[in-house]
Amino acid sequence: QQQVKQSPQSLIVQKGGISIINCAYENTAFDYFPWYQQFPGKGPALLIAIRPDVSEKKEGRFTISFNKSAKQFSLHIMDSQPGDSATYFCAASLYNFNKFYFGSGTKLNVKP
Amino acid sequence: DGGITQSPKYLFRKEGQNVTLSCEQNLNHDAMYWYRQDPGQGLRLIYYSQIVNDFQKGDIAEGYSVSREKKESFPLTVTSAQKNPTAFYLCASTAEWQGNTGELFFGEGSRLTVL
């Protein structure tokens, strides 16, 4: 059973637009929800993360929105740029970080 | 520079051969992980280790083996029992959970192709 479900699988956005990627999780014991960004041929790198005690976290153009009751969280990329073109993974883990569960990934293409 | 080093970056293997992927970290992290990434799929956990000389199976451990003899090193062996080993393999580490951010640090990956 997939612990974290991510959508869409791919996304095309015009430069300057808003990119939105959604994730849903099953386990209410999850305590940490990061987003990772991966460029081709590279390992993923942490982009932004949130804990369930807040509903939103913003870092520059990147915002996580968290809905605990719906067990959903999403990544919003404002003013999307061609350099944002990458694959994005949401993830979830328990409080002790001993195991991370990843979504299936979203390939974002920002058109100039 | 602190980080995770994976080698080799590219590896070709004939069917029936075992192959070992190297993962070394100088971040002084306790926990280390191996993930497998296939096109269009997320990262699937193969094995993880939270302390030296101890490791646990992840979701897709069959056909793989690991060791953790040193804190810095967590090599992965892809055995001939792994039915479909062609994939991109990622090693990661994170600090002990108390007081850390939970951030996973990844290496640049090893791409294994079985001929």
User: How far B40 CA lies from chain A's nearest CA (Å)?
Assistant: 7
Tens digit of each residue's pLDDT (9 = 90 or more) over A4-37: 999 999 999 999 999 999 999 999 999 899 999 9
Which pLDDT band holds residue B2 (cuts at 50, 70, 90)? Answer: confident
Residue type, A28: T
Euclidean distance between CA atoms A57 and A77, whole angstroms: 12
CB distance B36 to B46 below 8 Å: yes
pLDDT attached to residue B96? 64
Dihedral sign, CA of A41, A9, A47, B50? negative
Euclidean distance between CA atoms B8 and A51, whole angstroms: 36
Euclidean distance between CA atoms A87 and A77, whole angstroms: 13
CB distance A88 to A71 below 8 Å: no
pLDDT attached to residue B102? 73
Helix then strand then coil, % of chain A, to nearest 5: 5, 55, 40
Interface mutation target, options B59, B93, B104, B110, chain A, most CBs of A under 10 Å: B104
For A108, the token pair is: 């974002």
pLDDT attached to residue A103? 94
> Which residue does chain A place closest to B102, by CA atoms?
A97
> Which residue does chain A place closest to B42, by CA atoms?
A104
Tens digit of each residue's pLDDT (9 = 90 or more) over B71-99: 999 999 999 888 899 999 999 998 865 55
pLDDT attached to residue A27? 92
Higher-confidence position of B83 and A82: A82
- Stretch B4-13: mean pLDDT, rounded? 95
User: How far A19 CA lies from chain B's nearest CA (Å)?
Assistant: 19
User: How far A43 CA lies from chain B's nearest CA (Å)?
Assistant: 4
Tens digit of each residue's pLDDT (9 = 90 or more) over A91-111: 998 866 678 899 999 999 999
Which of A32-36, A43-47, B78-82, B101-105 is least confident? B101-105
- Stretch B14-43: mean pLDDT, rounded? 92
Pick from B42, B48, B109: which is nearest to A102 by CB? B42
Are B40 and A105 within 8 A, CB to CB? Answer: yes
Among candidate residues A57, A83, A103, A22, the one with its CA nearest the CA of residue A48? A57
Among candidate residues B113, B110, B112, the one with its CA nearest the CA of residue B23? B110
pLDDT attached to residue A54? 92
Q: Give Cα separations from A24 to A28, A39, B20 (angstroms).
A: 11, 23, 35
Burial class, B103, CB count within 10 angstroms (exposed 0-12 / middle 13-18 / buried 19+): middle
Q: How many CA atoms lie within 13 A of A37 on its CB side?
A: 14
Pick from B35, B97, B106: which is nearest to A97 by CB? B97
For B12, the token pair is: 């070709």
Residue A64, pLDDT above cutoff 60: yes
User: How many distinct helices (H) and strands (E) make up chain B?
Assistant: 0, 11
Strands B19-25 and B76-78: antiparallel
